[in-house]
Amino acid sequence: MTAEMGEKDHSDVRWNPDLRQWYCAKCGLTSDHVAEQDAVAAMAAFDCTLHGTNVVKLGEKERLLRAHYLTKQKKQNE
């Protein structure tokens, strides 16, 4: 009975310090709300289901691009 109840609930929401956004480790959904409760509320509008590997790939690509950008910024400041 309770097995299906948790499907909509993003129960593994974590903070990504690199992108400065909240994301659900279960389905890959992200939110750019700063406050965790706002992010969870925004995510609640979507089902916690895997949307395919595109989400994960995009996140990884973004992370690498941002890391590259930050490195560049640091060099300019030196």
Cβ proximity to Zn ion, 1 vs 45, nearer residue: 45
| 10 lines the binding site for Zn ion (CB under 5 A) | yes
| 33 lines the binding site for Zn ion (CB under 5 A) | no
The residue within the footprint of Zn ion, chosen from 22, 24, 30, 39 (CB under 5 A), is: 24
Interface with Zn ion (CB under 5 A), residue total 5
Tokens 């990884």 correspond to what residue?
A: 60
The residue ranges that bind Zn ion (CB under 5 A) are 10, 24, 26-27, 48
